[in-house]
Amino acid sequence: MGAINPDTAVSNSFDYVPVRPIPGFILDPAACSARDHGLAASGTSRVVLVNAAGRASEDGDGGLREVGRTVLCRTDTADFDEAEIRHVVHDRGQLYLDVSGKPSIDDFATDVRQLVLARECMRCPDFVQCCCCYLPAETSFFDQDQRWLADMMKSLGGRVLDVGLGNVPYMGFMPIPPDGEHIEYHGVDPDPDAGKTIAGVTVHQIGIEDFAGFDGYFDHVLSLRSLNHFLDVGAALESVHRCLKPGGQAVFMESLALPLVRSRHKALTSHQAAAGGFQHLRNWDSSQLLEVVERMNRFGRGFRVTFHRPIGPDTCDQWIVVMTAA
- The pLDDT tens digits for 147-171 are 999 999 999 999 999 999 988 888 7
Which stretch, 99-103, 123-127, 199-203, 299-303, has highest mean pLDDT? 123-127
Mean pLDDT across 66-86:
90
Mean pLDDT across 293-297:
95
pLDDT value for 63? 47
pLDDT value for 279? 85
Contacts of 64 (CB under 8 A, 6+ apart): 26, 27, 28, 55, 56, 57, 58, 118, 120
Mean pLDDT across 217-233:
97
Closest CA relative to residue 237, chosen from 311, 179, 290, 189: 290
pLDDT value for 60? 47
pLDDT value for 3? 56
Reported as a pLDDT band with limits 50, 70 and 90, residue 269 is confident
pLDDT at 66 over 60: no
3 state SS of 126 = coil
pLDDT value for 236? 97
Is residue 170 within 8 Å of residue 149, measured between CB atoms? yes
3 state SS of 280 = strand
Which stretch, 49-58, 165-174, 202-211, has highest mean pLDDT? 202-211
Is residue 112 within 8 Å of residue 318, measured between CB atoms? no
Give percent above pLDDT 90 in the chain.
Answer: 74
pLDDT value for 8? 82
Closest CA relative to residue 119, chosen from 131, 134, 97: 134
Structural domains in the chain plus CATH codes: 13-138 (no CATH), 142-325 (3.40.50.150)
The better pLDDT of the pair 276, 158 is held by 158
pLDDT at 81 over 80: yes
* pTM score: 0.91
* Mean pLDDT over the full length of the chain: 90
User: Which of 20-24, 175-179, 273-277 is the least confident region?
Assistant: 175-179
Is residue 220 within 8 Å of residue 156, measured between CB atoms? yes
Reported as a pLDDT band with limits 50, 70 and 90, residue 30 is very high
